[in-house]
């Protein structure tokens, strides 16, 4: 799915498609910190609250949650006894965020984004906030996600805060004696900020944009495996649905089949609403599938992706329905050549803006410069659009572990559009194209 060619200055509320603020720091935290952070988390060293895992901060008459799993039963419910330590991947991420907090002299960080909470702790509940300190991970949620928290993040300090969102969260600033708590302005609403500020006595709230977004740019091996699984499910669904497509079928039916088959093949769902566009509709890069039917002599453009274990794929292919107009075939050849050149240039150190320029110059030579009206690509991971952005004015450099889309396109109003989109991993030495679908499809 294409992203706009210019950076947005105002974050949009939908995390999936939001353009975030650029991280101010992209440094890799040292791995050395992981072990010590994990140890601190495990023993709770220096934390001023009891090590009791579960705390209810609201709901009159509520009692402390009892142990839900075997691993919890062996754990004492009070005092300063050891608790469970986080799995290695999360311990590493926690350590990297903590290193960032130290460098900014913050003693706490409030994470309001559900996506970022999942990245940091594995918790998938739909109500939550994480308050991270030097040695504690406090997970604030409500009763609906009590068991979810026990299953997914048993090592965190769980707080069931009920409906008293910001106030109950701010209470913990005091309990943990935090002086400076950072938050990401991209993920805190004005209402939440007002509630937090009112309730946070003695704690200074400080804007700290993009800390986690910056760390999410480079994926670890588990994350890469998840994206690859999402690519495979999406490709499997495409191949199955392609066999079902016939003349007269509506765009919305094709989109529905794709979503069904992706789930059937193991996806949590579609990564985004599939774009299925016939003929002139394909000239709209973000067309919503409607009642247009598949007709001979048209192009069919499909942009789709799957979500697997919280990670997404994002692919685009065009299918010729018989013989399309000549102009589209010429556009296709230029897009395909631009795709090749851009993918060839993907390697650590390559400039994101430079990649866009490489693709754009190929399309310009074919005379379609003005018809390539979005950026070359974007990062993918837990979100469909995340950093880095491969837009012409960008100056970021690619780093190993980034996964980006390469998706040049040419759109001819009233005729149709062409886009080819693949998901490419930046490796230590170059790149690996994670997607492997053929580039040419024709039915009829």
| Contacts to Zn ion by CB under 5 A | 1, 303, 314, 405, 421
Which one, 92 or 314, has the nearer CB to Zn ion? 314
CB of 407 to Zn ion, least distance (A): 5
- In the complex, residue closest to Zn ion by CB: 1
CB of 348 to Zn ion, least distance (A): 22
Torsion of CA 378, 380, 385, 389, to 10 degrees: -30
Instruction: Give the number of C-alpha atoms closer than 13 A to the C-alpha of residue 54, restricted to the C-beta side.
Output: 22
Asked if residue 57 has a cis previous peptide bond (ω within 30° of 0), the answer is no
* Cβ atoms 275, 303 nearer than 8 A: yes
CB of 252 to Zn ion, least distance (A): 18
Distance CA 198, CA 418 (A): 52
- The 3-state DSSP class for residue 70 equals helix
Which one, 170 or 270, has the nearer CB to Zn ion? 270
Which one, 182 or 353, has the nearer CB to Zn ion? 353
CB of 394 to Zn ion, least distance (A): 15
Which one, 52 or 336, has the nearer CB to Zn ion? 336
Which one, 184 or 423, has the nearer CB to Zn ion? 423
DSSP 193-229: HHHHHHH-TT-EEEE-TTHHHHHHTS--HHHHHHHHH
Q: What is the DSSP letter of 30?
A: P
Instruction: Give the number of C-alpha atoms closer than 13 A to the C-alpha of residue 278, restricted to the C-beta side.
Output: 23
Which one, 223 or 421, has the nearer CB to Zn ion? 421
Which one, 47 or 346, has the nearer CB to Zn ion? 346
CB of 419 to Zn ion, least distance (A): 8
* Cβ atoms 411, 284 nearer than 8 A: yes
Which one, 101 or 270, has the nearer CB to Zn ion? 270
Distance CA 99, CA 435 (A): 35
Distance CA 108, CA 330 (A): 56
CB of 423 to Zn ion, least distance (A): 9
CB of 315 to Zn ion, least distance (A): 6
Which one, 253 or 314, has the nearer CB to Zn ion? 314
CB of 201 to Zn ion, least distance (A): 45
Other beta carbons less than 10 A from residue 163's beta carbon: 10
CB of 409 to Zn ion, least distance (A): 10
Residue found by looking up tokens 């018989």 in the block: 322
CB of 272 to Zn ion, least distance (A): 8
Strand pairing category for 157-160 and 137-141: parallel
- The 3-state DSSP class for residue 433 equals strand
Distance CA 311, CA 418 (A): 26
Instruction: Give the number of C-alpha atoms closer than 13 A to the C-alpha of residue 420, restricted to the C-beta side.
Output: 24
Other beta carbons less than 10 A from residue 303's beta carbon: 25
Which one, 110 or 420, has the nearer CB to Zn ion? 420
Q: Which helix (H) or strand (E) holds 353?
A: helix 352-365
Which one, 353 or 409, has the nearer CB to Zn ion? 409
DSSP 288-330: PP-SPBP-TTEEEEEEE-EEETTEE--EEEEEEESS--HHHHH
Distance CA 434, CA 429 (A): 15
CB of 108 to Zn ion, least distance (A): 35
């Amino acid at each position: 799915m294409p992203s706009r060619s210019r950076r947005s200055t105002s974050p949009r509320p939908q995390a999936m498609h939001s353009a975030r603020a650029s991280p101010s720091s992209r440094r890799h935290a040292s791995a050395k910190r992981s072990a010590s952070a994990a140890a601190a988390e495990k023993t709770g060293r220096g934390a001023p609250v009891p090590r009791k895992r579960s705390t209810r901060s609201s709901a009159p008459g509520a009692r402390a949650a009892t142990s839900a799993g075997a691993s919890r039963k062996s754990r004492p419910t009070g005092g300063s006894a050891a608790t469970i330590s986080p799995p290695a991947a999360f311990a590493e991420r926690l350590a990297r965020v903590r290193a960032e907090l130290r460098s900014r002299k913050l003693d706490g960080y409030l994470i309001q984004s559900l996506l970022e909470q999942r990245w940091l702790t594995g918790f998938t509940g739909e109500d939550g906030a994480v308050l991270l300190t030097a040695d504690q991970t406090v997970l604030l949620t409500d009763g609906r996600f009590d068991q979810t928290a026990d299953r997914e993040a048993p090592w965190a300090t769980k707080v069931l805060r009920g409906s008293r969102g910001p106030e109950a969260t701010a209470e913990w600033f005091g309990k943990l004696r935090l002086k400076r708590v950072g938050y990401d302005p991209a993920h805190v609403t004005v209402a939440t900020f007002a509630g937090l500020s009112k309730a946070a006595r003695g704690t200074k709230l400080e804007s700290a944009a993009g800390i986690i977004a910056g760390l999410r740019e480079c994926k670890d091996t588990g994350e890469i495996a998840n994206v690859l699984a999402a690519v495979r499910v999406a490709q499997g669904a495409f191949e199955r649905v392609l066999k079902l497509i016939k003349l007269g079928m509506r765009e919305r039916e094709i989109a529905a089949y794709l979503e069904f088959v992706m789930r059937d093949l193991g996806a949590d769902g579609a990564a985004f609403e599939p774009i299925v566009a016939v003929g002139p509709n394909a000239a709209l890069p973000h067309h919503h599938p409607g009642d247009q039917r598949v007709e001979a002599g048209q192009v069919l453009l499909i942009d789709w992706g799957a979500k697997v274990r919280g990670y997404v794929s994002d692919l685009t292919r065009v299918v010729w329905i018989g013989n399309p107009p000549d102009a589209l075939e010429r556009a296709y050849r230029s897009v395909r050549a631009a795709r090749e050149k851009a993918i060839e240039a993907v390697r650590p150190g390559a400039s994101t803006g430079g990649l866009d320029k490489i693709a754009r110059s190929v399309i310009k030579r074919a005379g379609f410069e003005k018809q390539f009206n979005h950026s070359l690509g974007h990062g993918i991971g837990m979100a469909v659009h995340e950093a880095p952005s491969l837009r012409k004015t960008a100056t970021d450099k690619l780093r190993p572990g980034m996964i980006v889309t390469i998706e040049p396109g040419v759109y001819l109003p009233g005729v149709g559009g062409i886009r080819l989109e693949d998901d490419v991993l930046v490796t230590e030495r170059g790149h690996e194209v994670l997607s492997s679908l053929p580039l040419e499809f024709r039915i009829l």
